[in-house]
Structures are given as structure tokens and as C-alpha cells.
């Protein structure tokens, strides 16, 4: 019943089939994110110059997100902040993924290694996530380095869990047994037989890790442990806006946060639609 409901083709893009629609969603959201990153890199500092003649302006056509107390255009600041967030999130999730691949393959080589990996996963999940990031970022001396390492070191456990379960299931397969009987080493089996099967899982996991990493980076920066106040990060913008809250400058907090929400949603959308393409069995849900 539910499948019949989902495949009825209606709406604006009824000329396209489901696969084309999925590809279109992925393409357009990726383009949006790419545009944000590129424009934040090439924007330069010009709109961020202070201009006391136009401070604390409400949103208008000229300044769609309003201006702050130094007359800087909030739209430009938000764009810069989003670009920075995406870059930091991207860097941190890449490191996390490399850790996941390494630990996942390590767990496939033997029983002791496997219990070590599962112990490590449990250890990292036992301290509240945000507190652990704060702790690591303090330990690394704070700043951009601290927050990247903090976010990178704390996002691998959940993906590693998934990968470990997948590996466990793969290891019961016939071809692995045969390969072992043929005298292949554990490392050879891990890299040649198991790794290729994990690629879709890991790719998807990385993309779905992005939004978490971005949100955590923004949270930690908001609390004051992450990027320095000179950077145009979203967390900094929002924590500054708290001081102007009672003055009624609502746009200082509202638009930057909303843009962050949209970026996070875009990553979720890409991840989910890619999942549909890679794993067509569950696509009808």
C-alpha cells in the first residue's frame, strides 16, 4: 500500500522519474553548498568593513540580513561564517572518516583488536559528547586547531559501530573463508575483500556526519571554546547577538541561525538521497 502511494508521480516535476528527481535534489543542494563555500572564499573582507554610518539597521533590500553594531552587513558575515563552518566541518569529518576506516579494518583482523576497538568506541561514547569536545579542545590549547581536533576525535564512534557490524556480517561470507583457506593474510583480506564493500557505507556515513560536525563546531564556538572572536564564525555571531537581544535586534540572531539550519538540512537531504541511490532496496520508504 505504502509503495503504491510513494510512486504516484505528481507535482511540478512529474515529467521526471524518481531517480531523476533524486539526482536533481542532490545536484541542486550540492550546488547551493558549493556556492556558499566559493562565495565565502572570494567575498574578501570588503563588505565586512565597519561602517558606523549604518549600524544596527533592520533587514532591508540593501542589507537582507540587517547590519550589526559596527555597521557590518550581516548577510556577508553569515556567508563567511557558513563557509568557515562547512570547511571546519568538512576537515573534521574527513579526519573522523579516516579514523573510522583505520579502526574498522583493525577490528577485522582479530578478536583482540576487535574488542579493543569496541572498548574504544564505548569509552568515547561514555562522556557526554559536547563535554568531550570541550575537554579535547582545551587540552589542545583551544582555537581553530582545538575545535577541529575535538570535533574530529569525537565523531567516529557511531560510524565505526556501523562499520564494525557490517564487517562482522561480511566475515561470515564464503569468499572470505575461501580466501583465508588459500592462505591470504588478514591484512590482504581486510584491504582487498572487506574495504571495497564498506565504501558506500563510509561515504554515506561521512556525508551524514557533516551536519553533526558543523553543529558541534558552532556549539563549541558559541560557548567560547572554539574559533577566536576575530573569525566570522556562526557561533561567534550568535554569541555576540546575545548581548543585543534585549535591545530588540532580532535579525542578528535569527538569520544566521536559520542559514545554519538550512545548510545542515541540505547535507541531510544529500545524504538521504544518496542513500536512496546506493541502497535501492530501502528506497521506497
Partner 1 sequence: MLNNGKIAGFIGKKTLRLVSLLIVVCFASFMLIQSSPIDPVRAYIGEMPVTAEHKAKLEEYWGVNTPPQEKFLNWAGDIVKGDFGTSLIYRTPVIDVIKERFTASLVLMGVSWLFAGILGFVLGIVAGMKQGTWVDKAIKTYCYALAAAPTFWLALVLLMVFSVYLGWFPIGLSVPIGVTADNVTFFDWFKRLILPALTLSLLDVAKITMFTREKLIEVLSSDYVLFAKARGEKGLDLVLRHGIRNVALPAITLQFLGFSELFGGTVLVEQVFSYPGIGQAAVAAGLRSDVPLLLGIVIFSTLFVFFGNLIADIIYEFVDPRIRQQEASI
Please report, as ranges, the residues that interact with partner 1 according to CB under 8 A.
2, 5-6, 122-123, 125-131, 134-136, 138-142, 165, 211, 215, 218-219, 222-225, 234, 238, 241-242, 245-246, 248, 250, 253-254, 256-258, 260-261, 264-265, 268
**With respect to partner 1, which residue has the nearer C-beta, 231 or 272?**
272
Q: How many CB atoms lie within 10 A of CB 24?
A: 13
3-state SS assignment for residue 42: helix
**With respect to partner 1, which residue has the nearer C-beta, 254 or 278?**
254
CA distances (Å), origin 39, targets 33, 67, 83: 10, 19, 8
Rounded Cα gap, residues 29 and 271, in angstroms: 11
Rounded Cα gap, residues 44 and 83, in angstroms: 12
User: 167 — phi, psi (to 5°)?
Assistant: -60, -40
3-state SS assignment for residue 142: coil
**With respect to partner 1, which residue has the nearer C-beta, 112 or 181?**
112
Can you say whether the dihedral through the CA atoms of 50, 53, 56, 59 is positive or negative? negative
| Per-residue burial over 49-69, b = 16 or more CB atoms within 10 Å of its CB, e = otherwise | eeeeeeebbebeeebebbbbb
Beta carbons within 8 Å of 219's beta carbon, 6+ residues apart: 130, 235
Chain centre to alpha carbon of residue 280:
23
* Neighbouring-strand partners of residue 73: 67
| Per-residue burial over 79-113, b = 16 or more CB atoms within 10 Å of its CB, e = otherwise | bbbbbbbbbbbbbbbebbbebbbebbbbbbbeeee
Amino acid at each position: 500500500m505504502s509503495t503504491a502511494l510513494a510512486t504516484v508521480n505528481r507535482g511540478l516535476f512529474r515529467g521526471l522519474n524518481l531517480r531523476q528527481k533524486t539526482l536533481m535534489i542532490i545536484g541542486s543542494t550540492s550546488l547551493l553548498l558549493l556556492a556558499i563555500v566559493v562565495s565565502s572564499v572570494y567575498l574578501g573582507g570588503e563588505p565586512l568593513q565597519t561602517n558606523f554610518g549604518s549600524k544596527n539597521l533592520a533587514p532591508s533590500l540593501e542589507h537582507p540580513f540587517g547590519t550589526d553594531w559596527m555597521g557590518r552587513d550581516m548577510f556577508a558575515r553569515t556567508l563567511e561564517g557558513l563557509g568557515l563552518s562547512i570547511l571546519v566541518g568538512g576537515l573534521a569529518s574527513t579526519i573522523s572518516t579516516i579514523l573510522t576506516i583505520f579502526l574498522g579494518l583493525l577490528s577485522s583482523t582479530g578478536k583482540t583488536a576487535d574488542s579493543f576497538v569496541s572498548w574504544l568506541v564505548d569509552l568515547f561514547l561514555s562522556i557526554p559528547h559536547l563535554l568531550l569536545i570541550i575537554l579535547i579542545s582545551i587540552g589542545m590549547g583551544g582555537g581553530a586547531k582545538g575545535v577541529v581536533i575535538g570535533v574530529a576525535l569525537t565523531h567516529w564512534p557511531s560510524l565505526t559501530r556501523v562499520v564494525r557490524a557490517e564487517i562482522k556480517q561480511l566475515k561470515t561470507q564464503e569468499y572470505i573463508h575461501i580466501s583465508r583457506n588459500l592462505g591470504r593474510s588478514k591484512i590482504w583480506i581486510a584491504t582487498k575483500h572487506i574495504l571495497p564493500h564498506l565504501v558506500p557505507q563510509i561515504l554515506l556515513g561521512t556525508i551524514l556526519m557533516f551536519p553533526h560536525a558543523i553543529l558541534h563546531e558552532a556549539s563549541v564556538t558559541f560557548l567560547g571554546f572554539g574559533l577566536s572572536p576575530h573569525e566570522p564564525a556562526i557561533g561567534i555571531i550568535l554569541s555576540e547577538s546575545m548581548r543585543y537581544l534585549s535591545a530588540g535586534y532580532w535579525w542578528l540572531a535569527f538569520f544566521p541561525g536559520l542559514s545554519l539550519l538550512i545548510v545542515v538540512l541540505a547535507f541531510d537531504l544529500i545524504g538521504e538521497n544518496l542513500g536512496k541511490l546506493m541502497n535501492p532496496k530501502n528506497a521506497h520508504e
